[in-house]
Chain A
């Protein structure tokens, strides 16, 4: 069995120290957060970087700041810590479920939200669709400065981000929406999701959908919004059966990814059922 060897690990004591180390080592280095993806490189037959900059000891990357209009999440916050911190904020149910039900308890205590968003090759990331439907932004940092961009934009550029950049934090606006995360693992728990539907809606007093964001993960290589379904929901009462019917009519726009455990067509076929579950979780 191949096991990872021959990478050096620098434990950065501060954010500037991490950015300096990443900048100096260039393409030879990468951030090391929870390691739950990196340490499995040999199983994927991928080489390790020769230098890792461990970011787990940097205090500001562990902070979760809850303000009245925004929540800011440091990139090295673990899934477990995030699920605990957001548990009482019902507008973030989608993110609490994404962070709190992925993987297994030990992995949730190691894997970070930054690692979840930064791993280009990982299609089944739970927090990506959850944060897409919450209209999240991210802040990226390098020795030269900082930049704040939409998560959607980050997903298109993350694989070509120049060496030296680090995902620093995630900024999620608070809009009082009702949200839900529906995922289908092959076993009841502990597996990657076959498909994910994340839903965020705002409703008027009569229960009509004023605005909707729906995102789909694990079906295609990168999670994305389902804008035609969002349009179909707006203006109507939220109804789980009708939402699933609309999803069934529109699911043809997805091209599922094939894998040894799940055929491509199956990932698309289960989408209407997941839309029904997500809408039903909002009491419709």
Chain B
């Protein structure tokens, strides 16, 4: 019996083992390569996806437990075919360097901007505890989050 997964609104099936980390099915079977398996330990956040609206490291989520959930990857965060507010702000603030951490950053910050409109600089920093960036020093990412909060 296969696995039945709803990813970015599409109903997809997989014959992978039920314990397979969701990240591997997303990337290798569904070719959604935005989420990155970097640490596979829940520390770095590069594999973050939204599961029923909650940022979740897909390296720690067995595919079987994601059945019947709404899975949203960075590829599915666009609004009406355009960038969403945090994506616009990250671009406007020239926040991206190598880009490795960014799909995960976008997922975590999309959640923050949509669920916590009053978030402060400290709230943003706390929300990014599980998203490691080796390049930017975080400041421009935080500025972008503040800009997105101010303009939504």
Task: List A contacts of B17 (CB < 8 A).
Answer: 5-8
Q: Report if A40 contacts B (CB, 8 A).
A: yes
> B76 interface residue, CB < 8 Å from A?
no
Q: Contacts of B132 on A, CB cut-off 8 Å?
A: 190
A106's partner among B16, B18, B48 (CB-CB below 8 A) is B48
Residues A40 and B60 in contact, CB atoms below 8 Å apart: yes
Q: In the bound complex, what is the Cα–Cα distance between A43 and B40 (angstroms)?
A: 8
Chain B residue with minimal CB distance to A42?
B40
Known: A7-B19, A8-B19, A9-B62. 6 other contacts (CB 8 A): A5-B17, A7-B17, A9-B18, A9-B19, A43-B41, A104-B45
Q: CB distance B21 to A39 under 8 Å?
A: yes
Pairs of residues from A and B, 6 with the lowest C-beta to C-beta distance, nearest first: A104-B130, A7-B19, A9-B64, A104-B129, A39-B60, A9-B18
- Shortest C-beta distance, B1 to chain A (Å), equals 11
* B17 CB, nearest partner CB in chain A, Å: 5
Please classify how large the interface on chain B is, using the bins under 10, 10 to 19, 20 to 34, 35 or more.
20 to 34
* Cross-chain contact A9 with B65 (CB below 8 angstroms): yes
Q: Is A270 an interface residue (CB 8 A)?
A: no
Main SS of chain B's interface residues? loop
Are A52 and B19 in contact, with the CB atoms below 8 A?
yes
Q: Whole-angstrom distance between the alpha carbons of A164 and B6 in the complex?
A: 33
Scoring A56, A105, A110 by chain B CB atoms within 10 A of each residue's CB, the highest score goes to A105
Measured in the bound complex, the distance between the Cα atoms of B40 and A3 in whole Å is: 9
A4-B20, A9-B19, A107-B130 known; A35-B60 Cβ under 8 A? yes
Contact with B along A21-46 (1 / 0, CB 8 A): 00000000000100110011011000
**B43–A189 contact, CB under 8 A?**
no
Q: How far is the CA of A8 from the CA of B16 in the complex (A)?
A: 11
B148 at interface, CB cutoff 8 A: no
B56 within 8 A of A: yes
A109-B54, A110-B56 given; A35·B18 CB < 8 A: no
Is B85 an interface position by the 8 A CB rule?
no
Find residues 1-18 in chain A having any chain B CB closer than 8 Å to their own CB.
Answer: 1, 3-9, 11
